[in-house]
Amino acid sequence: MLRHALKNAMIPVISLIGLQMPLYIGGSVIIEAIFRLPGVGLFFFEALSKLDYPVVQSVNLIIAAIVVGLNLVIDLSYAFLDPRIRYH
């Protein structure tokens, strides 16, 4: 079951991860702002309120790069999870 069922069932799950990831990063900014948790979100929010645009730009860029990279990994893992999918 682990080997056959789980592997095939994982495909929609990981594609969902790729889609939801940006939303939750956005949500984490708000949570960090509410509870003053020291993270990238709070860093970003404080940069915003100080109009520190280089920081705002680089946080956006880094997170976008993470999201794109994650989606690439997810696309490639389809081939691992389902050998019928091949990339040429």
Summarize as ranges the residues that interact with another protein (CB under 8 A).
21-23, 25-27, 29-30, 33-34, 44-45, 48-49, 51, 56-57, 59-60, 63-64, 67-68
Does residue 55 contact residue 43 with C-beta atoms inside 8 Å? yes
| Cβ neighbours for 58, distance < 8 A, ≥ 6 positions apart | none
Kindly state the smallest distance separating residue 37's Cβ from another protein, in Å. Answer: 15
Does residue 12 contact residue 86 with C-beta atoms inside 8 Å? no
Q: At what angle do helices 7-35 and 53-81 cross, to 10 degrees?
A: 160
71 or 77: CB nearest another protein: 71
16 or 26: CB nearest another protein: 26
Kindly state the smallest distance separating residue 42's Cβ from another protein, in Å. Answer: 11
Kindly state the smallest distance separating residue 5's Cβ from another protein, in Å. Answer: 26
Does residue 8 contact residue 81 with C-beta atoms inside 8 Å? yes
